[in-house]
Amino acid sequence: MLYRFSTIMTVMVLAGLADAASAQEIALKGITSFAEKTFYSRGFERFIEKVNADGKGVIQINYIGGPKAMPPFEVGNALKTGVVDIANATGAFYTNLMPEADAWKLTERPMAEIRKNGGYAYMAKIYEQKLNGILLARHIDSNPFHIYLTKPISKVDLTGLKLRITPVYRDFFQSLGATVVQTAPGEVYTALERGVVDGYGWPITGIFDLGWHEKTKYRVDPGFYSAEVSIVINKSTWDKLNPAQKKVITDAAAWIEAQASQTVKENEADIAKQKAAGIQVIEFKGAEGADFRKKAYDAGWAGVLKQSPEHGAKLREFFAKK
């Protein structure tokens, strides 16, 4: 069969263009809502290193940085609108857009199970609708929150105390009688130093990153909930990626999420470090401790259900221990 030379040339040129387009490296903008190189940014930073190593010539992430570049409570909106392509954040930082995201803190099952039991798929729809996002990997789990204080308490009662919060702690601390003030992590040190607050909520790890141990006298045990920090990608960005680019991202995401349970080792290390720093533990034991934790979960779920009755009830079935 005979083809005209010009037709053959056209086909070759078009094929060449398509090839060039699919081979073109794409660069995504990445931001974290925690200070750079601190505990809750580290998983994201390792994820970026892996993407940039595996994705040479295919996909790269330009790391813009943390709260110096953008206030943490604005990261959700920046992700939704595509100002950034990929973000490291906790659900409590974007409840303005998606109140249900704060329910991640109430999971009592590992993410592997929540991905199997339908809980992840249920949340994924809400991420798509409300955040124009896709949750790629939860790299922090098995990491309880605690109350840290500058004054002691002797019973499960926070009356008369003013505590720094985010949405994570609001309902629980208020149910125990505390007055609350919301701040970004970057403002905690100054609030403690000026005596604006008598303590703060924070997970078991990371209080040394921003120097809070200097101003912290007591930690209340037991811990409650399970801190969540995740990598989320803008859905419009995701939809533009070719299969090879998506694979680099999903492989790195699975790799980092699989390491989330290792947080437990870090928990132990920071418990020892807090002890060495002279932070005293106020421990509610036995029935009192169980009551403290029950109150935390009851207040937490009541808060989620109030914000989002229908989704809240479903999420409780997927997330809570039966």
Query: Which position among 73, 94, 202, 218 is part of the footprint of ligand 173 (CB under 6 A)?
Result: 202
Query: Which position among 99, 133, 185, 312 is part of the footprint of ligand 173 (CB under 6 A)?
Result: 185
Query: What is the C-alpha to C-alpha distance for residues 184 and 277, in angstroms, rounded to an integer?
Result: 24
Nearer to ligand 173 (CB atom), residue 145 or residue 238:
145
Strands 280-283 and 86-89, how do they pair? unpaired
Q: List Cα–Cα distances, 39 to 104, 200, 208, in angstroms.
A: 19, 18, 10
What Rg do the C-alpha atoms of the chain give, in angstroms?
Answer: 23
Q: If we measure between CA atoms, which residue out of 314, 34, 288, 295 comes closest to residue 177?
A: 295
Cβ proximity of 137 and 231 under 8 Å: yes
Query: What is the C-alpha to C-alpha distance for residues 79 and 231, in angstroms, rounded to an integer?
Result: 11
Tell the smallest beta-carbon distance from residue 263 to ligand 173 (Å). Answer: 11
Which listed range, 77-85, 199-207, 275-283, 290-298, lies at the site for ligand 173 (CB under 6 A)?
199-207
Nearer to ligand 173 (CB atom), residue 61 or residue 165:
165
Return the axis-axis angle of helices 39-54 and 243-257, rounded to nearest 10°: 140
Query: What is the C-alpha to C-alpha distance for residues 60 and 24, in angstroms, rounded to an integer?
Result: 11
Query: What is the C-alpha to C-alpha distance for residues 140 and 89, in angstroms, rounded to an integer?
Result: 10
Nearer to ligand 173 (CB atom), residue 131 or residue 227:
227
Cβ proximity of 110 and 228 under 8 Å: no
Chain positions 223 to 262 lying near ligand 173, rule: CB under 6 A, are: 227, 229
Q: Does 132 engage in binding with ligand 173 (CB under 6 A)?
A: no
Query: Which position among 201, 223, 300, 303 is part of the footprint of ligand 173 (CB under 6 A)?
Result: 201
Tell the smallest beta-carbon distance from residue 307 to ligand 173 (Å). Answer: 16
Q: If we measure between CA atoms, which residue out of 67, 76, 69, 79 comes closest to residue 184?
A: 67
Query: Which position among 40, 94, 172, 212 is part of the footprint of ligand 173 (CB under 6 A)?
Result: 40
Cβ proximity of 255 and 248 under 8 Å: no
180's enclosing H/E stretch is strand 179-182
Nearer to ligand 173 (CB atom), residue 238 or residue 319:
319
Per-residue x/- marks for ligand 173, 148-177, CB under 6 A?
Answer: ------------------x-x---------
Query: Which position among 43, 144, 203, 303 is part of the footprint of ligand 173 (CB under 6 A)?
Result: 203
Which listed range, 119-127, 196-204, 272-280, 311-319, lies at the site for ligand 173 (CB under 6 A)?
196-204
Per-residue x/- marks for ligand 173, 56-95, CB under 6 A?
Answer: ----------------------------------x-x---
Which residues bind to ligand 173, rule: CB under 6 A? Answer: 40, 90, 92, 166, 168, 185, 201-203, 227, 229
